[in-house]
DNA sequence: TTGCTCCTCACGTCACGTGAGGTGGC
DNA sequence: TTGCTCCTCACGTCACGTGAGGTGGC
């Protein structure tokens, strides 16, 4: 799979992909590709990129943050790779715990963002409800009482 | 109130505030301030800036988007100002409807972001639950059955 | 051989960050 | 008068956007 197809599938430009490579977020820079030749990507590379982009979009992380997280993800993947060979349950427990810590960190970031959005949404909904009430009073609007109520600035 | 206090209160640098002014998001550029004199802000200016920053942070809007929204907000404020003088209920209905449309637009943006974050959080929680189960199996881990189950890569 | 896609510079842009050097108000 | 905060350039940075000119693979 070449860069054009990857770019189209994940919805970014080729420049972005090359830039992420420059910054060490994606492979194909370090892993011995001869300069000038076409970059080649696997399905796993696409998944990885998509994960990075989601983190970037939803959590507004800098590329430096992303690089850190990506490193942790990679460590986790490496641990998962060792799963089959790990002999003791104690060893496997360590693998599980490391993965858990990483996921919990991400979940924390996601939750705190979501809470802010919730608060914002609530505020907007309250304002809308107030306007809706005004609207009802105005369009019902023949009784003097309703008319008088409507004289207040919302 | 001067720029330093405003910057500290809303949590941005003075540069950001001046830049927003350059881009027409804040007053004090157009409203006849003599060049070289100190900028002066009111409590309302601070509220307005804070609103813009929230939109920027939570919805990742560009300054161009923000300018658009700010313009609509201003129109809304102008309408609210006309509330007292507006004579007919029909006139007031138009004011309410314009405000409603604006708020609904913002609410739409907020909700779509929140849905994406929800999906992400769910995904992370599912993964965590799976890991937790592994952990339980491993630390319970004396029975042969539990041991065998744990041999599977999570 | 001819397109098409890719390649590497390299300069431009957006949203600020960061001094440099100078002036205003308590 | 002395600090302190503010002012205006103006160049730097991050995360790309956008050509220019050239090469590789079906």
pLDDT of residue A43: 95
What is the SS3 assignment for A70?
helix
* B117/A154 Cβ within 8 A: no
What is the SS3 assignment for B11?
coil
pLDDT, one tens digit per residue, over B7-28 is 999 999 999 999 999 999 998 6
* A117/B114 Cβ within 8 A: yes
Mapping DSSP onto H, E and C, the string for B72-114 reads HHHHHHHHHHHCCCCCCHHHHHHHHHHHHHHHHHHHHHHHHHH
pLDDT of residue A27: 80
pLDDT above 90 for B61: yes
Please give the residue of chain B at the shortest CA–CA distance from A100: B128
B40, β-bridge pairs: B2
* Nearest-nucleotide field for B52 (CA, C1'): C15
Quote the CA–CA distance of A20 and A17 in Å, as a whole number.
5
Task: Report CA(A68)–C1'(D21) in Å, whole number.
Answer: 37
Confidence of residue B49 (pLDDT cuts 50, 70, 90): very high
Q: Nearest C-alpha of chain A: how many angstroms from B34?
A: 35
Cβ contact B102:B48 at 8 Å:
no
pLDDT of residue A8: 97
Q: Which two structure tokens, joined as six digits, stand for B118?
A: 């929800």
Select from B80, B103, B108, B130 the residue whose CB has the most chain A CBs within 10 Å, as the one to mutate to test that interface: B103
Confidence of residue B74 (pLDDT cuts 50, 70, 90): confident
pLDDT above 90 for A71: no
pLDDT, one tens digit per residue, over A2-61 is 999 999 999 999 999 999 999 999 986 456 688 889 999 999 999 999 999 999 999 999
Report which of B10, A63, B81, B109 is spatially closest to residue B20, judged by C-alpha positions.
B10
Interface residues 18-77 of A with strand C (CB < 7 Å)? 18, 35-39
- Residue B55, classified by CB atoms within 10 Å of its CB into exposed (0-12), middle (13-18) or buried (19+), is buried
Residue owning tokens 């054009």: A4
Select from B11, B121, B145 the residue whose CB has the most chain A CBs within 10 Å, as the one to mutate to test that interface: B121
Cβ contact B55:B66 at 8 Å:
yes
pLDDT of residue A143: 45
Q: Which two structure tokens, joined as six digits, stand for B47?
A: 């509220």
Which chain B residues are within 8 Å of A106, Cβ to Cβ? 124
Confidence of residue B72 (pLDDT cuts 50, 70, 90): confident
CB contact set of A151 (below 8 Å; sequence gap of 6+): none
pLDDT, one tens digit per residue, over A119-140 is 999 999 999 999 999 999 888 7
What pTM was computed for the model?
A: 0.85
pLDDT above 60 for A81: yes
pLDDT above 80 for A146: no
A16 touches strand D (CB under 7 A): yes
Mean pLDDT of A78-107: 86
Cβ contact A10:A49 at 8 Å:
yes
Cβ contact B42:B74 at 8 Å:
no
Report DSSP state, residue B40. Answer: B
pLDDT, one tens digit per residue, over B82-125 is 877 877 888 888 889 989 999 999 999 999 999 999 999 999 99
pLDDT of residue A145: 46
């Amino acid at each position: 799979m070449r860069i054009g197809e990857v770019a189209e599938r994940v919805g970014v430009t080729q420049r972005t992909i090359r830039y992420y490579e420059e910054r060490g977020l994606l492979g194909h820079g370090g892993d011995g590709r001869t300069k000038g030749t076409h970059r080649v990507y696997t399905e796993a590379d696409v998944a990885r990129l998509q994960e990075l982009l989601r983190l970037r979009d939803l959590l507004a992380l800098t590329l430096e943050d992303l690089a850190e997280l990506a490193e942790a993800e990679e460590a986790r993947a490496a641990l998962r790779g060792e799963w089959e060979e790990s002999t003791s349950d104690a060893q496997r427990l360590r693998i599980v715990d490391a993965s858990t810590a990483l996921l919990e960190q991400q979940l924390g970031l996601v939750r705190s963002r979501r809470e802010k959005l919730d608060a914002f949404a609530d505020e907007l909904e309250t304002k809308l409800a107030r306007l809706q009430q005004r609207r009802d009073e105005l369009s019902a609007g023949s009784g003097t009482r309703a008319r008088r109520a409507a004289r207040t600035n919302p």
